[in-house]
Amino acid sequence: MVLCLFFSCSDKKQHQIDISNINVDFSVKRYEVDFYNATPKSLLNVKEKYPYLFPKSFTDSISLAKINNKQEQELFIESNKIYKDFSSVKKQLSLLFKHVKHYNSKFKEPNVVTMLTNLDYESRVIYTDSLLLISLDAYLGKKHKFYGDYPKYIKENNTKEHIVIDVANAIIDKQVMVSNNRNFVGKMIYEGKKMYLLDLYVPKVVDHEKIGFSLDKFNWAIANEEQIWKYFIDRKLLFNTDTKLNKRFLENAPFSKFYMEQDNLSPGKIGVWVGWQIVRSYMKHNDVSLQELLKINESDLFNKSKYKPKK
């Protein structure tokens, strides 16, 4: 644990930059507040304010039925208890946008619209170049009663602190070109590049929150890094192109599938975590810009990374 904290602090210092002179300007509109407080008379004003959220098929009768729905009103009330004051989240988003702008001067911060999506955790954040939609009902806290039936690994990220991480990931997904590399180590490194961008964009966020692991699962990954790498090598997985490896080691899941007795102690997507360590090692041993990192193919990066798992 002490070593974990030491390396984490060292990493944070490495990525601290001066963003005091970077200006960002974006608005925050509270769609869910305007919508669920609307009356038949004021609904027209809401539609004019958010035309992109009212397709032709979304008639006034449907809107009013949603507004008066008891369960949706309860969801709005619960969300508003937590997010009546959105200023702390706006401050986090402002810091994020400044960091992104530092590394990419062409980045234009999007305007933010908060909303509710009936607990659809797969659509937490939607990002376009000019607009950012955030579903607040996906961030009510991992112990909230509305998430009673959710798997633990999903609930782990249903917190206010995770909003900025999901927003950063949505931006990163637009910035990192999809890789054509089909082997397992290439896929790990592709995901590792995105995680490294998180290091730069949200340097004050702790590592286990960046990757969405509970603290005990994160510590398991650190303690077993050498054994994980040995497993991949011994079973000749690194250059394997079997797509089943995606579900076993790269996709979000309650645990990774080594097909061993203590699999349940591991976090899901352990391959993403390993790819992150490989990219960190590459950046530590190679004096390259962020743009060069994003351009280099995964095979060359791996060969130059000098990655050696901690014992």
Residue 64, Ramachandran bin (φ over 0: left; ψ between -120 and 50: alpha; else beta): alpha
Instruction: Give the pLDDT band (50/70/90) at residue 6.
Output: very low
For the chain, what is the HEC assignment?
CHHHHHHHHHHHHHCCCCCCCCCCCCCEEEHHHHHHCCCCCCHHHHHHHCHHHCCCCCCHHHHHHHHHCHHHHHHHHHHHHHHCCCHHHHHHHHHHHHHHHHHCCCCCCCEEEEECCCCCHHHCEEECCCEEEEEHHHCCCCCCHHHCCCCHHHHCCCCHHHHHHHHHHHHHHHHCCCCCCCCHHHHHHHHHHHHHHHHHHCCCCCHHHHHCCCHHHHHHHHHCHHHHHHHHHHCCCCCCCCCHHHHHHHCCCCCCCCCCCCHHHCCCCHHHHHHHHHHHHHHHHCCCCHHHHHHCCHHHHHHHCCCCCCC
The whole-angstrom distance between residue 100's C-alpha and the CA centroid of its chain comes to 15
- CB-based contacts of 206: which residues, under 8 Å, 6+ apart? 8
**How confident is the model over 147-181, as pLDDT tens digits?**
998 999 999 999 999 999 999 999 999 999 988 89
**How confident is the model over 59-118, as pLDDT tens digits?**
999 999 999 999 999 999 999 999 999 999 999 999 999 999 999 999 999 999 999 998
What's the burial of 217, exposed, middle or buried (CB within 10 Å: 0-12/13-18/19+)? buried
Spatial separation of the C-alpha atoms in residues 6 and 111, rounded to whole Å: 37
- CB-based contacts of 257: which residues, under 8 Å, 6+ apart? 247, 248, 249, 263
Average pLDDT for the chain: 93
Spatial separation of the C-alpha atoms in residues 193 and 280, rounded to whole Å: 9
Strand 131-135 and strand 125-127: pairing? antiparallel
User: What's the average model confidence in pLDDT over 230-241?
Assistant: 98
**How confident is the model over 254-301, as pLDDT tens digits?**
999 999 999 999 999 999 999 999 999 999 999 999 999 999 999 999
**How confident is the model over 89-99, as pLDDT tens digits?**
999 999 999 99
User: What's the average model confidence in pLDDT over 34-41?
Assistant: 97
Q: What is the CA radius of gyration of the chain?
A: 21
| pLDDT at position 52 | 94
| pLDDT at position 16 | 77
State percent of the chain over pLDDT 90.
89
Look up the pTM and report it: 0.93
| pLDDT at position 14 | 59
Q: What backbone torsions phi and psi does residue 113 show, to the nearest 5 degrees?
A: -125, 125
| pLDDT at position 252 | 95
